[in-house]
Structure 1
Amino acid sequence: MSRVRTVLGDIPPEQLGVCDAHDHLFLRSPQLPGQELEDLSAARAELAAFRAAGGAAVVQWTPYGMGRRAADLPELSRATGVRLVCATGLHQAAHYDTQLLDRLRGGGLAELFVSELTEGIATTGVRAGFIKVAGGFHALDAHTRRTMTAAAEAHHATGSTIAVHLELGTGALDVLDLLCGELGVPGDRVILGHLNRHPDPVVQRQAAASGCWLAFDGPSRAHNATDWRMPEAVRALAEAGFADRLLLGGDTVVAGARSVDGGLGMPYLLRRVRHRLAAAVGADLVDRILTEHPGRAFAVDWR
């Protein structure tokens, strides 16, 4: 039976509730100096604000080695009543120091992902609920191919979903060719993040036709067409028959983007984006995107 693996244990997908399907409570990267998400009290306040806006679950896409603070997630979930799903996986090489990358290049990357999914993240007891990897700008470099190959191996061992950061929304079809074509991952086990940042309707339809999930994420910060063109893109995909392949997320990646630090943050997804999309495609579909779809996308028959 399929279950969503939260930091407090596995639950039936229908219990996930209103879900921000792509966001971050904690994140650290040399690409974002001085903008780290590291404040525990701010994370708690942000989750409380999301809960007050009607939210029930957040999927944190922060992968291995980027300050995801897995040990703090269970207590945050208990304190706020928000269900949390934690990632394993690896981001682009630019987000890591060379020593860590050299160690990971020594092998065992797939084994690391499987271990964090099944046995738990070292010293925390928290099991990851999915794998996060990343493509490059219009290309798949050697690091991307290595991490995606490891992610596919971990998928085949566990059934886990693979969520992909698309750099500025590009490279979607190359990612699908690799993951679903060469590496044999079923389309419905792949989530493409940030596809709305490169709003090519032809690519979006082609990607959706693979059976993958399209995550419209990033409204918490101004970035290309993430906000103002989102309703028309969602409507076009729904009219093309892909209404059941859509997810929504906030992708709060820097401290200033949190609502409690003066940004839009997680509540914006429910306070503004939800209603704007409802005007374009109807409240019923938006409710399914926020509740039913994340449960289906992240639920796994764990092996």
Structure 2
Amino acid sequence: MNHPPPRTLRTVTGSLDPEAVRGPVLPHEHLVLDLDRAGDGAAVLAPERHGAAVTGELDELRRRFGLSLVVELTCRGMGRDVTALARLSREAGVPVVAATGWYYEPFHTPEVDTADVEQLTAVLVREIEDGVGATGIRPGVLGEIGSHGDVPTPSETKVLRAAGRAALATGLPLATHAQLGRGGTAQLELLTGEGLSAGRICIGHQDLLDDPGVHRELAARGAYVAFDTVGKESYQSDRTRLRLLTALVEAGHADRALLSCDISRHGYLRAEGGQGYGHLFEEFLPRLRAAGADDDLVDLLTRRNPLRFLTGANVEEN
């Protein structure tokens, strides 16, 4: 059954009318996660250690820039903690959408090895309908569903197919992790092959792929194209990101682009000398405006596009 998209945003603190979101949205972030495989604790955002820094940044962005929603894409096997997300959301005064799914293969949880696509789909649908564990908190997005390389591995293929079927069954949108921007076309083929509309799919990390032709192809097929690692200069310069985004806009696909920072370790927090969640607003958007973007384009990129991705709704212009 192809379930229609939700009419309201499903946040960790309750339902939210998309029309009530009057400020910008960060559609790909992490507030709590644990990706530590090296044992050095670097790829971690622990609520007990880093929560105050996280909420401090979000509260400041809410007051300075009107930040109105964060989509938190920490899923199964990534250290997800929806109870902590609810607490951080309340403390910062910013609504947060939680996620479900599986990341790319090194972070797959044991059931991925033993279950088939149908069984994995059932796991996701149950979590979406009943809530995560005993919390009653229901995810509002599938993501970040991962693969690495130009073609997903068999395990990643299984996870992508299950997530696509769960999106069909529940109406939730689906955001992917395309490692270093690669493999997005293959992800889209797999997901649409399960019957999922491209307009309910966001292909992740495309700002790490210096290939405007791929971006145009994804957008022309109706998928959202995520420029979601803004400020991560060690992976890609913001100068290149700006060039790629401008090319996509000039090709007529401004309504398919999403912008975020993907803060994924404590060293990226402002309190620890990093660029922080606010880099998009403080550094990148001023450069976009200097390149010719007006208020309407900025509102489209930072508010209307993510809300349409999440709910299918065309919200009013600010």
Amino acid at match of 1:20: L
Write out aligned runs for 1:137-148 (5 A).
Answer: 137-148=149-160
Secondary structure in structure 2 of the residue aligned to 1:108: helix
Kindly indicate whether residue 142 of structure 2 is the aligned counterpart of residue 134 of structure 1.
no
Amino acid at match of 1:129: G
Kindly indicate whether residue 11 of structure 2 is the aligned counterpart of residue 3 of structure 1.
no
1-side partners of 2:299 and 2:310: how far apart? 17
2-side partners of 1:175 and 1:96: how far apart? 17
Kindly indicate whether residue 22 of structure 2 is the aligned counterpart of residue 31 of structure 1.
no
1-side partners of 2:64 and 2:287: how far apart? 15
Shift of 1:141: 0.6
CA displacement 1:220-270 (0-9 Å, x = unmatched): 322433511122222211121101111111101111001122101101111
2-side partners of 1:220 and 1:245: how far apart? 20
Match of 2:126 in 1: 115
- List gaps (5 residues or longer) in structure 1: none
Write out aligned runs for 1:11-50 (5 A).
Answer: 11-16=16-21, 17-31=23-37, 33=39, 34-35=41-42, 36-38=44-46, 39=49, 40-50=51-61
Q: Is the 8 A contact 2:12 2:139 kept in 1?
A: yes
When residues 183 and 100 of structure 1 are mapped into structure 2, their CA distance, relative to the original with a 3 A threshold, is closer
Provide TM-score, normalisation by structure 1.
0.92
Stretches of 4+ aligned residues off by more than 6 angstroms: none
Match of 1:196 among 200, 203, 207: 207
Shift of 1:106: 9.4
Shift of 1:45: 2.3
2-side partners of 1:195 and 1:281: how far apart? 22
1-side partners of 2:108 and 2:133: how far apart? 19
User: Higher mean Cα deviation, 242-251 or 135-144?
Assistant: 135-144
Kindly indicate whether residue 218 of structure 2 is the aligned counterpart of residue 218 of structure 1.
no
Provide TM-score, normalisation by structure 2.
0.88
Shift of 1:100: 5.5
2-side partners of 1:160 and 1:176: how far apart? 16
Kindly indicate whether residue 174 of structure 2 is the aligned counterpart of residue 162 of structure 1.
yes
Match of 1:149 among 158, 161, 166: 161
Shift of 1:187: 0.7
Tell which has more relative contact order, 1 or 2 (C-alpha 8 A, sep 6+). Answer: 1
Write out aligned runs for 1:173-184 (5 A).
Answer: 173-180=185-192, 182-184=193-195
Match of 1:69 in 2: 81
Q: Is the 8 A contact 2:11 2:95 kept in 1?
A: yes
CA displacement 1:94-138 (0-9 Å, x = unmatched): 1246x4644556962111211222211112121100101012111
